[in-house]
A and B are shown apart, each in its own frame.
Chain A
């Protein structure tokens, strides 16, 4: 076999995860921002900006799960039991925010309840994802081919910190998305929120970046030894430049700028994470080759992925194009 299939699949799963993070990120972010907008009309508009696309966005989460199952069954079998409680809480939260899309437009007296379900569900699901990410980065105890740690291994200060960081990050994505999709007074208030949220997120990025190397001397060496520090220094420098660009775009009231800069920040943070963890799929000891599934399974799957992922991107893009432009209060879809 001339192609390194585990490597290809690691790349595909990484791509699926970042697609999920930015796409469901902005629609979860809309939910996180809900408590700051009390007006029913504003809330209708905010939800209508994402109603046609949230389901497709969430499908990337399912793809991430099953692609891991398909290509790295051992990693799937270790990571999911290790993160049992946060993942269960995330699923329950996703149920509440998912049904809220339909329910709040059907409800009358109970509408505030579904508004709450949407906001709380989005926030809790995001926090759990951040928590799971932090616990994953810190490492999972493995023995043989199974999880060998305890029920609450995931509950650490670092994981709580990454949970909060992701809530801020998704809120930023949501805010930037809404700036693109709304107008008038609603957009003005979103512009006013963008800068403080952005600064909080940059602080979180700095915090996570400085905290992560202390978990593992390997990560420390990877980033701070010579000559790596020279090769990798563009990552933090680009983060700083994007931060500056973001502040400028907000000041000039550029409508799509904030979203693009936020996307850039997410991609860079994600790349930083990948550099830290490489080549582990279950940190700190299991590499993508250790956890790799059967080559015949991966070969079977890669054929379909090579054909289908571009097609999926094509019609997903088309759907976004159909619903392009501003969403107005009275021109909603309902």
Chain B
């Protein structure tokens, strides 16, 4: 650990724990809404397949939600343990926002989660549907508050600074700060897409084994509708978010684009290696004028370059140049998948095109990778600030010695890899077992093909007897 000081270690620990954490909420935000839709469709149509799917996905939801909760409790304490100076300085603004998240979202989710997961036989269908809706609404309210708090760190407003501390003056301005609406829309859509591609991949995987599996067909179709409809909207929302960033954090955009000199007719680099020392982007391969066209919506628009900011105020371009491109590339792939699905659906081949099913399986992690890349881009793009332009990350640290942070970081790495590795393994097994193993009445004809031989390991997941 030599060479890493307390600041580096605390940043690595926060990045590591929050990156793991975000994977689970991203998935459960979308899945909760999906479960609400399935529950509603079951109530409305009475078709058993929706019930089967709801049962199946709620087991996976339970696993993912549990891991989101335990990794989230870590986050709520880490502000104080590792960033106590930040907590003291910004607590008046951020503390109430996070408190509202707990009051309006966490309790709502937790209060109705028990009924949603364990109450199938204890309450009526309507009430069960209501509980599912409350959980889904809870996840969205939670997204609202946490992104409001995060956005304020990017585009702070509505506060005054006295004695080096932030004091709220106008709560509406604090909550609805300039980057918040864009970030919220972008994140919710990202969560929905992430879930859609997981659901689609599971559907496709089971279609590859049995093309007549009704549950697999329904979930695949629903997921592909989401891809077709939401991915283009997401590209639009992402573009709007980028323009908002250009307005409020222009140095972040310059770093994302590896753009050093303020100029008109900026090219869009497809490849390159931004070098922070040499202040240039090496091996650059770009399309002339496209950068200006995208960012300013004009052929010769002027975009400010990184050299306009002092060296100690430049975000690390080398990293976010690439994370941004990975995110956008994946977004394009998702939109392409949605278009292909629409075309196949129109041709009546959505359920028979094996190659497309293989592609859909391969796209399963696309949303997660895109979300991680997007968050790395926006958060590293805020550096060296923790509150943009006002408080440096290095001034936010706790007075905790480096070796303590090294110990906790090592513990988190080991524990997360074991615990969440096992959790993901169980989730994959549940997915592989498929909806037909859920012990609920299934109408004739659904189990057209013989069930796959169950794994010899004889575990509970495989036998599906623990249906929830």
**Chain A interface (Cβ within 8 Å of chain B)?**
51-53, 55-56, 58-59, 61-63, 65-67, 69-71, 73-74, 76-81, 84-85, 87-89, 91-92, 94-96, 98-99, 101-103, 105-109, 145-148, 151, 293-294, 296-297, 300-301, 304-305, 308-309, 312, 315-316, 318-319, 322-323, 333-334
**Residue in B closest to A74 when the chains form the complex, CB atoms:** B88
User: Is B468 part of the contact surface with A, judged by Cβ < 8 Å?
Assistant: yes
Contact B408 A84 (CB under 8 A): yes
Chain B residues, CB < 8 A from A53: 114
User: Known interface pairs A52-B118, A147-B399, A319-B112. Does A107 touch B93 (Cβ–Cβ under 8 Å)?
Assistant: no
Of the listed residues B76, B104, B169, B423, the one surrounded by the most CB atoms of chain A closer than 10 A to its CB is B76
Shortest beta-carbon distance, B455 to chain A, in Å? 10
Given contacts A73-B87, A148-B399, 12 further A-B contacts (CB under 8 A): A66-B98, A73-B91, A80-B81, A84-B398, A89-B411, A95-B70, A95-B71, A98-B66, A106-B459, A107-B459, A294-B92, A297-B96
Complex Cα distance, B108 from A56, in Å, reads 9
**Chain B interface (Cβ within 8 Å of chain A)?**
62-63, 66-67, 69-74, 76-77, 79-82, 84-85, 87-88, 90-96, 98-104, 106-115, 117-119, 122-123, 167-169, 171, 398-401, 404, 407-408, 411-412, 415, 419, 422-423, 426, 429-430, 457-462, 466-468
Complex Cα distance, B168 from A114, in Å, reads 46
Complex Cα distance, B108 from A63, in Å, reads 13
**Residue in A closest to B397 when the chains form the complex, CB atoms:** A81
B399 partner, pick from A79, A81, A96, beta carbons under 8 A? A81
18 sample A-B contacts, Cβ–Cβ < 8 Å, listed by A number: A52-B114, A56-B110, A62-B102, A63-B102, A65-B77, A66-B99, A76-B95, A77-B87, A80-B80, A80-B87, A81-B82, A105-B460, A106-B426, A109-B459, A146-B84, A148-B399, A297-B95, A323-B118
Chain B residues, CB < 8 A from A96: 415, 419
Main secondary structure of the interface of B (DSSP, over half): helix
Contact A94 B80 (CB under 8 A): no
A77 partner, pick from B73, B84, B171, B458, beta carbons under 8 A? B84
Shortest beta-carbon distance, B414 to chain A, in Å? 9
Complex Cα distance, B58 from A333, in Å, reads 13
Chain A residues, CB < 8 A from B88: 73-74, 76-77, 145-146
Chain A residues, CB < 8 A from B399: 81, 146-148
Contact B168 A55 (CB under 8 A): no
Chain B residues, CB < 8 A from A94: 70, 73
Chain B residues, CB < 8 A from A70: 91, 95-96, 98-99
Of the listed residues B77, B108, B167, B422, the one surrounded by the most CB atoms of chain A closer than 10 A to its CB is B77
**Residue in A closest to B81 when the chains form the complex, CB atoms:** A80
B74 partner, pick from A91, A293, A308, beta carbons under 8 A? A91
Contact B104 A304 (CB under 8 A): yes
Chain A residues, CB < 8 A from B429: 106
Chain B residues, CB < 8 A from A99: 66-67, 70, 419, 422-423
Contact B73 A322 (CB under 8 A): no
Contact A297 B70 (CB under 8 A): no
